[in-house]
Amino acid sequence: MSDDFDLGNWLESTEPHSTAVEPVQPVLSPTSIRILNYCEQVYWESGLLPTPESVSEELSITVGTVRKAYSDETFRIQIAARGMDSESLITVGTLVKQTKALSPKQIVTANLMLNLHDKRSEREKLQQLQVSSQQYHAWLRQPAFIEFLRKRGEALFSSSDFLAYKSLINNVKAGDNKSLELFFRMRGIFKPQMDININIESVLQQVVEVISVHIKDPHVIEAIAGALENIIDVEAAS
Protein backbone atom coordinates (compact mmCIF):
# COMPACT_ATOMS: atom_id res chain seq x y z
CA MET A 1 0.00 0.00 0.00
CA SER A 2 1.49 3.38 -0.95
CA ASP A 3 2.01 6.19 1.46
CA ASP A 4 -0.50 8.33 -0.50
CA PHE A 5 -3.44 6.11 0.42
CA ASP A 6 -6.22 8.06 2.18
CA LEU A 7 -8.56 5.86 4.18
CA GLY A 8 -11.21 8.58 4.55
CA ASN A 9 -11.45 9.14 0.83
CA TRP A 10 -11.59 5.42 0.20
CA LEU A 11 -14.44 4.93 2.66
CA GLU A 12 -16.37 7.86 1.17
CA SER A 13 -15.97 6.48 -2.33
CA THR A 14 -17.28 3.07 -1.34
CA GLU A 15 -20.40 4.34 0.49
CA PRO A 16 -23.60 4.01 -1.51
CA HIS A 17 -24.89 7.36 -2.81
CA SER A 18 -28.53 8.20 -2.41
CA THR A 19 -30.38 8.71 -5.69
CA ALA A 20 -33.14 11.32 -5.83
CA VAL A 21 -36.39 9.77 -6.97
CA GLU A 22 -38.67 11.89 -9.10
CA PRO A 23 -42.19 12.02 -7.70
CA VAL A 24 -44.60 9.92 -9.67
CA GLN A 25 -47.15 12.06 -11.45
CA PRO A 26 -50.70 10.86 -10.85
CA VAL A 27 -52.38 9.56 -13.95
CA LEU A 28 -56.03 9.10 -14.78
CA SER A 29 -57.54 5.70 -15.21
CA PRO A 30 -58.92 4.74 -18.65
CA THR A 31 -62.43 5.25 -17.28
CA SER A 32 -61.60 8.75 -16.04
CA ILE A 33 -60.09 9.59 -19.42
CA ARG A 34 -63.33 8.52 -21.12
CA ILE A 35 -65.28 10.75 -18.74
CA LEU A 36 -62.86 13.63 -19.32
CA ASN A 37 -63.13 13.35 -23.10
CA TYR A 38 -66.92 13.29 -22.96
CA CYS A 39 -66.94 16.31 -20.64
CA GLU A 40 -64.78 18.21 -23.12
CA GLN A 41 -67.09 17.30 -26.00
CA VAL A 42 -70.22 18.46 -24.17
CA TYR A 43 -68.55 21.57 -22.79
CA TRP A 44 -67.44 22.89 -26.16
CA GLU A 45 -70.83 22.13 -27.65
CA SER A 46 -72.94 23.73 -24.92
CA GLY A 47 -70.63 25.72 -22.65
CA LEU A 48 -71.64 23.54 -19.69
CA LEU A 49 -70.18 20.48 -18.02
CA PRO A 50 -72.50 17.46 -18.11
CA THR A 51 -74.14 16.17 -14.96
CA PRO A 52 -72.88 12.88 -13.50
CA GLU A 53 -76.23 11.34 -14.41
CA SER A 54 -75.94 12.31 -18.08
CA VAL A 55 -72.35 11.02 -18.23
CA SER A 56 -73.45 7.76 -16.63
CA GLU A 57 -76.25 7.31 -19.14
CA GLU A 58 -74.10 8.17 -22.18
CA LEU A 59 -71.01 6.14 -21.25
CA SER A 60 -72.70 3.31 -19.33
CA ILE A 61 -70.66 4.09 -16.22
CA THR A 62 -72.12 4.14 -12.74
CA VAL A 63 -73.02 7.55 -11.31
CA GLY A 64 -70.79 6.84 -8.33
CA THR A 65 -67.77 6.35 -10.60
CA VAL A 66 -68.46 9.65 -12.35
CA ARG A 67 -68.87 11.47 -9.04
CA LYS A 68 -65.59 10.01 -7.84
CA ALA A 69 -63.85 11.24 -10.98
CA TYR A 70 -65.37 14.70 -10.58
CA SER A 71 -63.99 14.92 -7.04
CA ASP A 72 -60.50 13.72 -8.01
CA GLU A 73 -57.92 16.53 -7.94
CA THR A 74 -56.03 15.19 -10.96
CA PHE A 75 -59.26 15.06 -12.93
CA ARG A 76 -60.08 18.65 -11.97
CA ILE A 77 -56.60 19.79 -13.01
CA GLN A 78 -57.10 18.16 -16.41
CA ILE A 79 -60.52 19.80 -16.72
CA ALA A 80 -58.94 23.23 -16.18
CA ALA A 81 -55.98 22.43 -18.46
CA ARG A 82 -58.38 21.78 -21.34
CA GLY A 83 -60.01 25.17 -20.88
CA MET A 84 -63.14 23.94 -19.13
CA ASP A 85 -64.64 25.62 -16.10
CA SER A 86 -63.57 23.43 -13.19
CA GLU A 87 -65.37 25.80 -10.83
CA SER A 88 -68.61 24.22 -12.01
CA LEU A 89 -67.61 21.13 -10.01
CA ILE A 90 -68.19 22.97 -6.74
CA THR A 91 -68.67 19.91 -4.54
CA VAL A 92 -68.27 16.20 -4.92
CA GLY A 93 -70.35 15.24 -7.92
CA THR A 94 -72.54 18.31 -7.65
CA LEU A 95 -72.79 20.45 -10.73
CA VAL A 96 -74.31 23.87 -11.11
CA LYS A 97 -75.65 23.26 -14.59
CA GLN A 98 -77.40 26.55 -15.20
CA THR A 99 -76.95 29.56 -12.98
CA LYS A 100 -76.90 33.31 -13.36
CA ALA A 101 -74.41 33.67 -10.51
CA LEU A 102 -70.91 34.25 -11.88
CA SER A 103 -67.84 33.27 -9.91
CA PRO A 104 -65.71 36.03 -8.33
CA LYS A 105 -62.96 35.32 -10.86
CA GLN A 106 -65.40 35.72 -13.75
CA ILE A 107 -66.60 39.08 -12.39
CA VAL A 108 -63.03 40.36 -11.97
CA THR A 109 -62.07 39.11 -15.44
CA ALA A 110 -65.06 40.75 -17.12
CA ASN A 111 -64.45 44.08 -15.38
CA LEU A 112 -60.76 44.07 -16.29
CA MET A 113 -61.49 43.23 -19.93
CA LEU A 114 -63.94 46.14 -20.12
CA ASN A 115 -61.59 48.61 -18.44
CA LEU A 116 -61.04 51.14 -21.24
CA HIS A 117 -58.30 52.92 -19.32
CA ASP A 118 -56.19 49.77 -19.11
CA LYS A 119 -54.35 49.69 -22.43
CA ARG A 120 -52.78 46.27 -21.93
CA SER A 121 -53.55 43.46 -24.33
CA GLU A 122 -56.11 40.77 -23.59
CA ARG A 123 -53.29 38.27 -23.13
CA GLU A 124 -51.54 40.46 -20.54
CA LYS A 125 -54.74 40.95 -18.57
CA LEU A 126 -55.45 37.24 -18.50
CA GLN A 127 -51.91 36.55 -17.34
CA GLN A 128 -52.39 38.93 -14.42
CA LEU A 129 -55.57 37.12 -13.42
CA GLN A 130 -53.98 33.69 -13.99
CA VAL A 131 -56.80 32.81 -16.37
CA SER A 132 -55.85 30.80 -19.44
CA SER A 133 -57.00 31.90 -22.89
CA GLN A 134 -58.85 28.58 -23.20
CA GLN A 135 -60.69 29.23 -19.95
CA TYR A 136 -61.66 32.76 -20.97
CA HIS A 137 -63.01 31.67 -24.34
CA ALA A 138 -64.88 28.86 -22.64
CA TRP A 139 -66.56 31.45 -20.40
CA LEU A 140 -67.54 33.36 -23.53
CA ARG A 141 -69.80 30.41 -24.37
CA GLN A 142 -71.71 30.75 -21.10
CA PRO A 143 -74.96 32.74 -21.46
CA ALA A 144 -74.65 34.32 -17.98
CA PHE A 145 -71.10 35.54 -18.63
CA ILE A 146 -71.99 36.89 -22.08
CA GLU A 147 -75.06 38.69 -20.69
CA PHE A 148 -72.96 40.32 -17.97
CA LEU A 149 -70.41 41.51 -20.54
CA ARG A 150 -73.20 42.85 -22.77
CA LYS A 151 -74.88 44.85 -20.02
CA ARG A 152 -71.58 46.21 -18.72
CA GLY A 153 -70.61 47.15 -22.27
CA GLU A 154 -73.93 48.93 -22.86
CA ALA A 155 -73.51 50.86 -19.61
CA LEU A 156 -70.03 51.96 -20.65
CA PHE A 157 -71.32 52.98 -24.07
CA SER A 158 -74.15 55.05 -22.58
CA SER A 159 -71.84 56.78 -20.14
CA SER A 160 -69.64 57.81 -23.08
CA ASP A 161 -72.41 59.98 -24.62
CA PHE A 162 -71.47 62.95 -22.45
CA LEU A 163 -67.80 62.59 -23.42
CA ALA A 164 -68.70 62.49 -27.11
CA TYR A 165 -70.88 65.63 -26.87
CA LYS A 166 -68.20 67.40 -24.85
CA SER A 167 -65.56 66.55 -27.44
CA LEU A 168 -67.82 67.79 -30.25
CA ILE A 169 -68.47 71.09 -28.47
CA ASN A 170 -64.74 71.58 -27.91
CA ASN A 171 -64.10 71.03 -31.63
CA VAL A 172 -66.90 73.46 -32.52
CA LYS A 173 -65.36 76.07 -30.26
CA ALA A 174 -62.03 75.50 -31.99
CA GLY A 175 -63.69 76.25 -35.35
CA ASP A 176 -63.38 72.78 -36.88
CA ASN A 177 -65.49 72.85 -40.05
CA LYS A 178 -66.41 69.14 -39.96
CA SER A 179 -67.55 69.46 -36.36
CA LEU A 180 -69.55 72.57 -37.20
CA GLU A 181 -71.30 70.75 -40.06
CA LEU A 182 -72.05 67.74 -37.84
CA PHE A 183 -73.35 70.01 -35.07
CA PHE A 184 -75.73 71.84 -37.40
CA ARG A 185 -76.91 68.55 -38.91
CA MET A 186 -77.66 67.19 -35.45
CA ARG A 187 -79.56 70.37 -34.63
CA GLY A 188 -81.54 70.13 -37.88
CA ILE A 189 -80.27 73.50 -39.08
CA PHE A 190 -78.17 72.25 -41.99
CA LYS A 191 -79.66 69.73 -44.43
CA PRO A 192 -77.34 69.35 -47.41
CA GLN A 193 -79.38 66.64 -49.04
CA MET A 194 -83.14 66.68 -49.11
CA ASP A 195 -84.89 63.39 -49.66
CA ILE A 196 -87.26 64.18 -52.53
CA ASN A 197 -89.34 61.35 -53.91
CA ILE A 198 -90.81 62.21 -57.32
CA ASN A 199 -92.86 59.88 -59.46
CA ILE A 200 -91.18 60.61 -62.81
CA GLU A 201 -93.67 58.55 -64.80
CA SER A 202 -96.58 60.55 -63.40
CA VAL A 203 -94.85 63.84 -64.15
CA LEU A 204 -94.06 62.87 -67.73
CA GLN A 205 -97.63 61.75 -68.27
CA GLN A 206 -98.79 65.18 -67.21
CA VAL A 207 -96.26 66.72 -69.58
CA VAL A 208 -97.78 64.74 -72.47
CA GLU A 209 -101.26 65.91 -71.50
CA VAL A 210 -100.11 69.54 -71.51
CA ILE A 211 -98.47 69.10 -74.90
CA SER A 212 -101.61 67.50 -76.35
CA VAL A 213 -103.56 70.64 -75.48
CA HIS A 214 -101.32 72.76 -77.69
CA ILE A 215 -100.39 70.23 -80.37
CA LYS A 216 -103.22 68.60 -82.28
CA ASP A 217 -101.21 66.35 -84.59
CA PRO A 218 -101.62 62.83 -83.12
CA HIS A 219 -98.44 61.57 -84.80
CA VAL A 220 -96.36 64.28 -83.13
CA ILE A 221 -97.96 63.62 -79.77
CA GLU A 222 -97.31 59.89 -80.16
CA ALA A 223 -93.66 60.55 -81.05
CA ILE A 224 -93.22 62.81 -78.02
CA ALA A 225 -94.87 60.21 -75.74
CA GLY A 226 -92.59 57.51 -77.11
CA ALA A 227 -89.51 59.62 -76.48
CA LEU A 228 -90.63 60.28 -72.90
CA GLU A 229 -91.28 56.57 -72.34
CA ASN A 230 -87.73 55.85 -73.46
CA ILE A 231 -86.51 58.30 -70.81
CA ILE A 232 -88.53 56.46 -68.16
CA ASP A 233 -87.10 53.11 -69.28
CA VAL A 234 -83.54 54.44 -69.10
CA GLU A 235 -84.09 55.84 -65.61
CA ALA A 236 -85.64 52.58 -64.43
CA ALA A 237 -82.71 50.58 -65.75
CA SER A 238 -80.07 52.79 -64.11
DSSP string, 148-175: HHHHHHHHHHHHTHHHHHHHHHHHHHTT
Domain assignment present for residue 216? The answer is no
- Structural domain tally of the chain? 2
In a domain, 35, yes or no: yes
Q: Is residue 70 part of a domain?
A: yes
Residue 66: which domain range?
Answer: 30-88
Kindly state whether residue 63 falls inside one of the protein's structural domains: yes
Q: Low-confidence residues of the chain, pLDDT below 50?
A: 90-97
pLDDT confidence of residue 95: 45
Q: Is 208 inside a domain boundary?
A: no
Asked whether residue 144 is assigned to any structural domain, the reply reads yes
Please write the tens of the pLDDT for every residue from 146-194: 888 888 888 877 767 777 777 877 887 777 777 777 777 776 666 665 5
Asked, for residue 34, whether it belongs to a domain, the answer is yes
Interatomic CA distance for residues 206 and 236, integer angstroms: 18
Which pLDDT value is given to residue 207? 72
The reported pTM is 0.45
Contact call for residues 89 and 50 (beta carbons, < 8 A): no
**Do residues 70 and 119 share a domain?**
no
Are 82 and 119 contained in the same domain?
A: no
Question: pLDDT at position 94, please?
Answer: 43
Whether residue 154 is contained in a domain is answered as yes
Whether residues 34 and 72 share a domain: the answer is yes
